[in-house]
């Protein structure tokens, strides 16, 4: 399967709405609890998606197009949302993410990227040489990683309440690899 | 954490909308592909949720309230959706699931269950004695198991396209425990 930009955009444009339908108006017991310790709540995950939207995805696309492999992407701070989410409820964070994503996709479309650009290369500071197609596919898959994580974090809140059914519920066997 | 029926209903009523926002109008490459072999596509998962709505959740609530532990729940056919989904596209299946879920929740609310009913017991054919609270918590967690699975199945379609980023994407490390 080759990377198809329209398939990637189709997913990217649906994630904010899906998260909004899932999370808006839910009791805090679902949105603000985590998996213990320093793990992330759904509220923090939404804030992380916004932070990635601001500093990671489209900025890296532009960086790759401008510098190629000559200059690595600036590193991404995976914990910056801890500051940015302070005092913000889930509703506000969902609105923020939707606006940021819509703006990113507008800018992405304006770049008018075609199949030949998908092979252009940039330099990841840890992973080395990567293509633009890989970067765009990773953007979409990053959404899915965090949707997967949100489902797991929420299910964790019901771990004890399901009693003997826990062994039939696959999400409760997930070992946290996506945090 | 005790089982709070309002928390469970809050999640149950959001799942159809979240899946609709995520999946409606997506290219078939996202909704109709699986993880290989006999595994499930997102389209099949939505059909499975409808089948469970018809034959599993509210019917088991009623069965428990009527028979207690004296008569086990009828077994649930985990593959019946294979017949029921034939010829139906994802849009039709999403509408069907939303209608079935809304009807289930109307009926659940009409039962007027309170905290004391949550301790009433029924008999699972394999798991043995279970409480009504556990059954209702499992209904919600089953939604999350399949949301988790859908994210994983979709991410699998991009496994090769993300190139070296695959090691950073937790959803691609998930071993399929929720199928």
For B45-96, what is each residue's pLDDT tens digit?
999 999 999 999 999 999 999 999 999 998 877 778 888 888 999 999 999 9
pLDDT in tens, B155-172: 999 999 999 999 999 999
- A176 backbone φψ class: left, alpha, beta (φ>0; ψ -120 to 50): left
**Considering only CA atoms, which of B34, B43, B149, B168 is closest in space to residue B96?**
B43
Residue B61 or residue A176, greater confidence: B61
Q: Do strands A128-131 and B121-124 pair parallel, antiparallel, or not at all (unpaired)? A: unpaired
What confidence tier does A177 reach under pLDDT thresholds 50, 70, 90? Answer: low
Q: Which of A77-91, A153-167, B114-128 has the lowest mean pLDDT?
A: A77-91
Q: Specify the pLDDT at position A176.
A: 66
Pairwise CB contact (< 8 Å): A164 & B134: yes
Element at B113 (helix H, strand E): none
Q: Specify the pLDDT at position A178.
A: 46
**Considering only CA atoms, which of B152, B131, B134, B132 is closest in space to residue B142?**
B134
Average of pLDDT values for A158-170? 96
Distance separating alpha carbons of residues A132 and A155, to the nearest angstrom: 35
Contact residues on chain B for A155, CB-CB shorter than 8 A: 141, 144-145, 148
Pairwise CB contact (< 8 Å): A138 & B6: no
Average of pLDDT values for B125-149? 97
Distance separating alpha carbons of residues B151 and B19, to the nearest angstrom: 11
Pairwise CB contact (< 8 Å): A178 & B160: no
> Which value does ipTM take for this structure?
0.96
Pairwise CB contact (< 8 Å): A134 & B7: no
What confidence tier does A83 reach under pLDDT thresholds 50, 70, 90? Answer: confident
Q: Specify the pLDDT at position B108.
A: 98
Q: At residue A127, does pLDDT exceed 70?
A: yes
Element at B149 (helix H, strand E): helix B132-156
Q: Which residues contact B17 (CB under 8 A, 6 or more apart)?
A: A21, A22, B98
> How many residue pairs bridge chain A and chain B with CB atoms within 8 Å of each other?
197
What confidence tier does A179 reach under pLDDT thresholds 50, 70, 90? Answer: very low
Pairwise CB contact (< 8 Å): A171 & B148: yes
Q: Specify the pLDDT at position B1.
A: 62
Give how far the C-alpha of residue B177 lies from the chain's centroid of Cα atoms, to the nearest Å: 15
Q: What distance in Å separates residue A87's CA from the closest CA in chain B? A: 23
CA atoms within 13 A on the CB side of B170: 16
Element at B121 (helix H, strand E): strand B121-124
Average of pLDDT values for A115-131? 96
* Contact present, B133 and B4 (Cβ < 8 Å): no
For A107, A113, A131, B145, B166, the CA distances from A119, given in Å and listed in that order, are 20, 11, 5, 36, 18
Distance separating alpha carbons of residues A178 and A149, to the nearest angstrom: 6
- Pull the structure tokens for residue A132: 């633009």
**Considering only CA atoms, which of B24, B23, B129 is closest in space to residue B67?**
B129
Q: Specify the pLDDT at position B179.
A: 42
Q: Specify the pLDDT at position A155.
A: 97
Average of pLDDT values for A155-177? 91
Contact residues on chain B for A25, CB-CB shorter than 8 A: 10, 14
Phi, psi of A32 (to 5 degrees): -110, -5
- Pull the structure tokens for residue A159: 């771990």
Average of pLDDT values for B128-144? 98
């Amino acid at each position: 399967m080759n990377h198809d930009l329209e398939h990637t955009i189709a997913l990217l444009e649906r994630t904010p709405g899906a998260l909004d339908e899932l999370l808006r108006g839910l009791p805090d017991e679902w949105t603000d609890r985590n998996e213990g310790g320093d793990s992330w709540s759904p509220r923090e995950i939404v804030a992380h998606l916004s932070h990635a939207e601001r500093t990671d995805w489209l900025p890296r696309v532009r960086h790759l197009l401008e510098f190629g492999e000559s200059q690595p992407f600036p590193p991404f701070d995976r914990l910056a949302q801890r500051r940015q989410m302070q005092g913000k409820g889930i509703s506000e964070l969902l609105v923020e993410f939707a606006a940021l994503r819509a703006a990113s996709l507008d800018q992405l479309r304006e770049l008018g990227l075609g199949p030949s650009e998908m092979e252009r290369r940039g330099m990841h500071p840890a992973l080395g040489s990567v293509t633009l197609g890989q970067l765009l596919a990773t953007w979409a898959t990053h959404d899915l990683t965090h949707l997967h994580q949100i489902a797991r974090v929420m299910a964790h809140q019901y771990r004890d309440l399901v009693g003997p059914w826990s062994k039939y519920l696959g999400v409760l066997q997930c070992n946290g690899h996506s945090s």
